[in-house]
Amino acid sequence: VRFDRRLGSGRTKPCIIFAETEEHEEVELVLKLAAGCEFRGLVCEAFASLLADDLDLPVPQACLVEITDEFARTVPDREVAANIRKSCGFNFGSRKLSPQFSTWPVGRPIPLALRPMAAEVLAFDGLLQNPDRRWNNPNCLVRGDELAIFDHDLAFSFLAGIIGGRQPWEPGGLDFLAANANRHVFFDGLQGTPVNFDRFLGAFESIDRRRLSEYSNAIPQQWRNGTDATGRIVAYIEQLKEHLAEAIAEVARVLV
């Protein structure tokens, strides 16, 4: 219902908007437009956010945001307005976090209280083949002892062949987490330290086929046009669950 501003100069050109929920509550959202990351990216965002929420990882609430041409005509920023006009229909949004959250600083040591969550975030990114939470592009916010993770349009990167053909449960399948130039934001702080993934493993095991169907049913038909991402992601998660213990062992191996 109301445009606020651009949010930085990221590849997907996110912006801040105010939207009205079905309960007529006005909420502030970070909006990712289909014109900025394509429908495949929106599907990846949705699946990763829903899964992270079920795993009790610190992800902002995900939203489907319906954009109309009428709204586009109210946007004063011409470039953004043009992208919005190309993105009419459903787009991906997430609740904007408190301004007290700030970007995870480069090279910051991981406080003891945050180590368990940081380890689970690294495991999550490994299992979802997300190479985009790097030391120099953290896609992670912090406020005291709280983390918040975001930006998952490059998750399930097997869809685009970004990180090679090995699966996370195969030897070397998670080496991208430790790759020097693009290593994970939490790799340096966790390497060589004891980690326990029992809670994370149990939470992941509870994601059953019924829940995956609910994820799939939440994807708008508009996003499915021209991409088989939804079906491939569901099939991937089902296969991952069959090899979950091996995948977690591979995470632990990378961190040795």
The whole-number pLDDT of residue 79 equals 87
pLDDT tens sequence across 210-251: 999 999 999 999 999 888 999 999 999 999 999 999 999 999
| pLDDT for position 161 | 76
pLDDT bucket at 11, cuts 50 / 70 / 90: low
Integer Cα distance of 40 and 70 in angstroms: 25
Q: Of 82, 66, 46, 1, whose CA–CA distance to 216 is shortest?
A: 46
Q: How many helices (H) and strands (E) does the chain have?
A: 10, 8
Q: Tokens standing for 9?
A: 């100069």
Maximal C-alpha separation, the chain = 55
Show the 3-state SS of 2-67: EEEEECCCCCCCCEEEEEECCCCCEEEEEEECHHHHHHHHHHHHHHHHHHHHHCCCCCCCEEEEEE
Encode pLDDT of 120-179 as tens digits: 999 999 999 999 999 999 999 999 999 999 999 999 999 987 776 789 999 999 999 999
pLDDT digits (tens, 9 = 90+) for 74-100: 999 888 899 899 999 999 999 999 999
Compute how many other C-beta atoms are within 10 angstroms of the C-beta atom of residue 222.
13
- Note the pLDDT of residue 70: 93
SS3 240: helix
